[in-house]
Each structure stands twice: as C-alpha cells, then as structure tokens.
Structure 1
Amino acid sequence: MDHRNDSSPSVAVLADDLTSAADGAAPFRRTGHRARILLRDDASERDESAAGVTALDLAGRLLDVAEAAARTRRAARTHAGSDLLLKTVDSTLRGHIAAEIRAAYEGSGRRAALIAPAFPAEGRTTVRGVQRVRGVPVHASEFGRDPVHPAHCSDLAELLPEAVLVDAGRADELPAAIDKGGLIVCSAVTDGDLDRIVDAVDAVDDVLWIGSPGLAAALAARYARPEAMPVPELVPATRPLVVVGSANPATRRQLGNLRAELGSAGVTVATGDPGASVAELSAADARILTLRTPDERHTTATANTLTRHLAEVTRTLVAAGTVDALVLTGGETAAHVLGQLDVAGIELTDEPEPGVARGVLLGSRNIPVLIKAGGFGDDDLLLRLCALAAGAGRSQGEG
C-alpha cells in the first residue's frame, strides 16, 4: 500500500519511556495530526475511532531485557495494522536497544526494519553505523557515564550484526534492501539525510521504522496534514512546577540558570518524609517552584525512593491547587509523576522545541504539561519552557 499522497495515515509509536513516546508523537502534532501519549497499552484506554497518532509508553527501561522485549513484541503485534509503525529508540543508544528492535520487528510482521537513530538537531549523528554525540561516540560521551542507563556501545553493527549498513547519501539503495527484508541500519548526519531515507520508501507499511525524534520529524513532514486538527486550549499558568529527576549535566545546568535568573523557590527531595518538601514549597511565594533529586549518585533502591517522593510531592501540590502547570524532565520521572496523578496520558498540543512535547493531561486533571528528556537543550531551555507555560513565550514553531 502506497500512502505517499495520503495526509492522514494511522500512526502508532512504541516507546521505552515517556519522553521517548513524546519525542515520537510531537513532530506529528506539529504537522497537524492529533497526537496522544498513553501510559498503558490497554484496550480500555484506546480510542479506535480517533484519527491521528497514538504513542505508547511501554516502560521498557524499567524492566529486565526479557520482559522489555516481550512487552515490545506484544505491542508491535497489537498495532501491526497501523499504516505507519514507529519504534522509538534513544538517540544515544541507551536502554535495551538490540532486544527491543528484534522484538518489534518480529511482532510487526513487516518486510524490513529501517533503523535510523540520528537526531542532528541535538548533535546526535550516525556515521558508518557508529552513533555519535557532537562527534564523540556515545559510549565515550557523558551518556556513557549516565548513572542509571549508560550507553555501553556506539556501534550498531556490533549491537545488530545481522543488519545491513547503508551509508548517508545512499538512500537509493534502500528499496532493494527492503525487498530482501531484515534489519537495515541507515547512517545520517543531517536532517536532509533523514528526509532522503523517508522519501526513498514508497510502501510505508512494508517497513517498521526505528529511530529518534529526527526520524519522527522526517516522517511527520512527509505526511503533514493540509489542515491541522484542533488542539485543547492551553490556559496560561500562574505557578508552574519544574520537576527534575534526570541526573544529566545539561539538565542540572538548565535548572541552575532558571533559579539564578528567576529566583525560583526550590527543594531537593530526600529519602525521609516527603511532607517536609510539600510544606516548604507550599509556603514559598516565588512564581516558579522547582523540585529535584540530589546531584550525587545513589543505589537503585535509593534512586527509586527519591523518584517516588518527587511524584508524591507533585501529586500533593497539584491536588491542593498550589501549582497549575508541570515541566517534567526525565522519562522515568515524568512517568512516575503522571502515574501518581492517575491520568491516562497526555493530549499533545505542540512541539515547542526539538525534543520537547507540550500538552494537557488526559482525565480530570487537565492541566498543562511540558516534557523533555534529560540530555536535550541548551542551558536556557528551562527558562523558555517556564515562559511558555506562563503564556509569555513563543514556541519555535510559531511565526
């Protein structure tokens, strides 16, 4: 089936954490599609009559490799009928990359899996099958030192030895490779390379697409709607809460700049009673509140306790009306927070910057939320996102 002239294919995005789901869906929202993120792949949560993009947080990074693969395989089988099936992967190759790719391919029933993890807008490129961040192989970058999910390998040929490698600029080789079937790793160093990869494939439902926000943006551009679907109204926030669970140095610098520029009130959660954090933030008179985990490394058990406390504090502040918008950084943090709020997911409104998704919570608590992955953005990103939440800023997609 050739959907080249169809502006509204059905799209399913399978992700291993919440920010990856948002990254995969947000470019489609930006090109006019309705887009939702669901926290559970549950038939009771799915609206089969709703057109647009459904992104699923399968939470694979929180599982062991066997269960992550099994969950991915089931989801790929469930959503195999989608016109366009996208499995997102981290652009720094963290998580159960190889196992989930193989599982998604098996479950999808597609002729071939086309793997293009480059995200040039954030300096993540694929050169002869090796994933790099600003020119450095990912395992040798700060992402190789991630205290929770480090990148152990940069070479996709090593991770997936059965795959065929296609260099950047040789997209004309893809149709023949797809005909043969199997896994195909595509190098790409620019957005133009990703556009050429997408344009080289005529039968979109022959392929399982595997990539990061760069590939999602290229697919979304090819299938842009002539008229945008309506989005929920975003009410300007009077007091946003910024929740930082990511240990990535980029996010820590962003938080430091935010507090230095705006004098926000901030709390670092501890492993004790989270009530003290609630009391301190509730009593603050700053117009932006921040909540973070400590900088130092922790055992897995301690890290889980701290993340749970972030979510509990956030839930209490939202329920009391102390805050009226959320800025969430880090996929696991965002998932825990939304889990505590007992919402089905997020209805996306736009992608204000690459790697950032904005929307409203699905359910009774329909407050605005912005989500970004820990390693994305320059040092002023949180400043801009708080301005957007307050209605004082403009997204990069606005004229």
Structure 2
Amino acid sequence: MRPAPSVTPPRVAVLADDLTSAGDGAAPFRRTGHPARVLLSGSPIGGPGGGPGGGGVLAVDLGSRLLDETAAAERAREAARDLAGAELLLKTVDSTLRGHVAAEVRAAREGSGRPAVVVAPAFPAEGRTTRHGVQYVRGVRVDESEFARDPAHPVRTADLARVLPEAVLVGADRPEELTELLPDGGLFVCSAATDADLDRIVAAVPDHRAVLWVGSPGLAAALARHHALPGDAAGAAGLPPARRPLVAVGSANPATRRQLALLAAEPGAASAVAGGPADLPGAAAAPVRILHTPHERRADPAELTRLLADSVAALAARDPFDGLVLTGGETAEAVLRALGAHGIDLHDEPEPGIARGTLAGPADVPPVPVVIKAGGFGDERTLLRLHALLTGNRG
C-alpha cells in the first residue's frame, strides 16, 4: 500500500480498520467542502482509483479488524508511514472500542513519527460518550452493552486506562490542559459528552500537524468543522434518483436487525437470505429489494459475508441495480470487492456517521450511488430513510 514517490500527500488522511469507519471518518470533511475518496485496503494510493492529491481527503480502509493483532498493527504502521505527509492524520477507532484499538494506535503513532497522540472516541450523535476515561453507549458501559456480545468482535473493557495504560486522562472540563502538555509529546485520552466538548479539544491543540488524532465520527466532525473550506458546503445534488436500489444487510447488530425488520415490512418489499435457493426470485419490480444474512448466526461470520457479497454480485449481473445501501463495514468491503470497485467517491453525509457517494474503480465499474452505514448506527427508521434518500422519495 505504499504510494509512488511522485504522489502528493492528501491534505487529510484517515486510517480506518473497516470500510464504514473510513466512510464515516471522511464524510464530515466532504460536508465541509473537501473532495474525498474512500479506498479499499490493498488498492494503490497513487494508481487508478487512488485518492485525491493535495487539498483532498483520502480515507484508507486498512481491513485490519479481521486480522490478528500483530498483522493489524503492521498494517496500521505501514499506512501511517505512507501518509505521514498529510497535514491532518486521523486514525479512526470504533466508538464502542471494538477491534485492535491499542495495537493499532501505538503502531500508527510509530509509523507517523508524530510526537503526540490525542484520543477522543466519543460520538455524541449516536449516544457514545467518554466520561472519566470510560466509554458509554446511551448511558451504559460498552462492556455491559449489546456490543459486549458482538459475535465477531466482542468488547472486553470500557476503561480506556486499561486499553492504553500509558495515556494521560484529560477531563471534559479541562481541554486546555492539552495546550500545556502536548509540546512535550505523549498519549492523551480525552473525555467528551457533547460535540461542543470535542470542538474544545480540537481548539486546544496548537499544532494539528504534530498530532496523530484518534477517534470516531464525532472527532472527525469536530476536525472537519475546524478545517472547513470557505464557501457552500459540499452536496450531492448531482446524484440521480435510483429506480432499482438494493439494500444489503450483513451486520448482526440488533439495531440493524430492527431497522431491517421495519424496511422489510414495507408494502411490496422483497427480502431474501443471501445464498438461498434463489436470491430475490421475481423481485425485479419490487419497490424495496433486500438481501441479508441469516438472523441466526450458526455459520462462520466471514462465510456469511462472502455469501452475501457473491449474491449481490450475481444479482448485479442478471438484474442490475442502480443504487446500494450497505450496512456493516465487513459487508460493505466484501460487496465492493465483489463488484470490482476500488472505493467510493464521497458526495455527502446524509446523517451523522453515514456516508453517501458513488462506486469508484476501473472503467467497467459504473458509478452507482452507494450509502454505507456501520451496523450499530441509527434508529429504527434509518434504513427506511436511506432507501428513500436513494430513490428521492423523501416525502
């Protein structure tokens, strides 16, 4: 994943452990005027399908959440080294602390060569807050929430002092401490319960180029507000409404399953389990088309994801769709690979933590509008709204 020497570093680089994290890390910058591309792991940064040069935002999906800790750390280290020339370097982490958080943060710090790390994983818009160095989701410690029972990546602890014992804890009421402490370097974990708390953290850092930022969409949005380009916010007015969209659901998160149930109950909806005898038989004219993994996870999650991606690709070949909604980072990555895409050119952020754009890749990959969403994000009507967003039926 090393860029050619002639490649101009992006203004903003986002390193993420899965595709939805890359999307929701870059989307706030798109909203504030920056051109942005999300790139699948293994895609050449400077080659065809690579990201924008100076002035743009490049978000790289490292694909590291599925790796073991050692391999994940090496991938984060290499990517941080490759993109160390960016003016702003953000390493995303899951706002519920899933994945190889500590190993990837330490490796990215080493690779970037930046003396200080500011960690702020709160995402208030989705109820994820950090209080006294402990991570909560809607008032419940993440290690006591449904994320502790995640079948693929269960959360073991909510205490960031245990995740990163070398860190200095910075209270939500004392962000100005960063101004005094950062020049000496070190790793700082910042508590935050509101977007205003995150804005104060960003404002307290005197030199953004000297810092490796670590956080979720909440911190990305605060950084984007601070670095907003002048003029009107970027939009997606040029995206045509989809007439034959497809919703592909691979996340096992209960929030997404509730969203799926509501969407599948829409009049005329056609829904099928991926890999079944016939995926969406006779559903060509259905107003809502859904492919999903089984509700009961008796098989290997990776195998279920592969089956879903293969089913989407097969449907694209025989009954093409003109819009996609993808839920879950591993699902989104697998589907894009199956379709031959290298990434996504971002257009906007329709809701906090949700990214919309078009498929990017070789000439034979059509620029189909696509919306990606992490499995745990949104309320019960989120998939309904995203489907309506693609079709233009928002009344």
TM-score, length of structure 1 as denominator length = 0.92
Amino acid at match of 1:147: P
Q: CA deviation digits over 1:162-216, x for unaligned, max 9?
A: 0000010201100222122111000001111000000111211010000000000
In the alignment, structure 1 residue 313 sits paired with structure 2 residue 311 = yes
Map 1:333-348 onto structure 2 (within 5 A).
333-348=331-346
Aligned equivalents of 1:262 and 1:53: distance in 2?
A: 40
> Which residue does 2:285 correspond to in 1?
285
Q: CA deviation digits over 1:211-248, x for unaligned, max 9?
A: 00000000000111113568682111011111000000
In the alignment, structure 1 residue 164 sits paired with structure 2 residue 168 = yes
Map 1:201-350 onto structure 2 (within 5 A).
201-227=205-231, 228=233, 233-270=238-275, 276-278=277-279, 280-300=280-300, 303-350=301-348
Amino acid at match of 2:261: G
When residues 137 and 25 of structure 1 are mapped into structure 2, their CA distance, relative to the original with a 3 A threshold, is: same
Q: CA deviation digits over 1:108-141, x for unaligned, max 9?
A: 1112000000000101000010000111110100
Amino acid at match of 2:154: P
Check whether the contact 1:174–1:201 (CA below 8 A) recurs between aligned residues.
yes
When residues 287 and 200 of structure 1 are mapped into structure 2, their CA distance, relative to the original with a 3 A threshold, is: same
Aligned equivalents of 1:56 and 1:185: distance in 2?
A: 23
Check whether the contact 1:91–1:212 (CA below 8 A) recurs between aligned residues.
yes
Check whether the contact 1:277–1:313 (CA below 8 A) recurs between aligned residues.
no
Aligned equivalents of 2:310 and 2:135: distance in 1?
A: 37
Aligned equivalents of 2:263 and 2:378: distance in 1?
A: 13
Amino acid at match of 1:258: L
Map 1:1-399 onto structure 2 (within 5 A).
10-40=11-41, 41-42=43-44, 43-44=46-47, 45-47=49-51, 49=53, 51-227=55-231, 228=233, 233-270=238-275, 276-278=277-279, 280-300=280-300, 303-363=301-361, 364-393=365-394
When residues 144 and 230 of structure 1 are mapped into structure 2, their CA distance, relative to the original with a 3 A threshold, is: closer
In the TM superposition, residue 295 of structure 1 has moved relative to its aligned partner by 1.2
Aligned equivalents of 1:69 and 1:186: distance in 2?
A: 22
In the TM superposition, residue 321 of structure 1 has moved relative to its aligned partner by 4.3
Aligned equivalents of 1:336 and 1:64: distance in 2?
A: 18
| Structure 2 spans left out of the alignment, 5+ residues | 1-9
Aligned equivalents of 1:23 and 1:202: distance in 2?
A: 25
In the TM superposition, residue 14 of structure 1 has moved relative to its aligned partner by 0.1
Root-mean-square deviation over aligned CA pairs:
1.8
Aligned equivalents of 2:290 and 2:127: distance in 1?
A: 28
Between 225-234 and 173-182, the greater mean CA deviation after superposition:
225-234
User: How many residue pairs end up in the alignment?
Assistant: 380
Check whether the contact 1:361–1:369 (CA below 8 A) recurs between aligned residues.
yes
Amino acid at match of 1:294: P
Aligned equivalents of 1:110 and 1:269: distance in 2?
A: 45
Check whether the contact 1:281–1:289 (CA below 8 A) recurs between aligned residues.
no
4+ residue segments displaced more than 4 Å = 228-232
Check whether the contact 1:318–1:324 (CA below 8 A) recurs between aligned residues.
no
In the TM superposition, residue 313 of structure 1 has moved relative to its aligned partner by 1.3
> Which residue does 2:5 correspond to in 1?
none
Q: CA deviation digits over 1:270-298, x for unaligned, max 9?
A: 4xxx5x333x3454531110011111123
Check whether the contact 1:34–1:230 (CA below 8 A) recurs between aligned residues.
no
In the TM superposition, residue 365 of structure 1 has moved relative to its aligned partner by 1.6
In the TM superposition, residue 305 of structure 1 has moved relative to its aligned partner by 2.1
> Which residue does 1:397 correspond to in 2?
none
Aligned equivalents of 1:217 and 1:47: distance in 2?
A: 20
Check whether the contact 2:65–2:72 (CA below 8 A) recurs between aligned residues.
yes
SS at match of 1:328: strand
Amino acid at match of 1:257: L
Q: CA deviation digits over 1:335-394, x for unaligned, max 9?
A: 000000111100000000011100000133210000000000000000000000001238
> Which residue does 2:4 correspond to in 1?
none
Instruction: State, as a whole percentage, how many aligned pairs show the same letter.
Output: 60
Aligned equivalents of 1:258 and 1:229: distance in 2?
A: 29
Higher helix proportion: 1
TM-score, length of structure 2 as denominator length = 0.92
When residues 156 and 241 of structure 1 are mapped into structure 2, their CA distance, relative to the original with a 3 A threshold, is: same
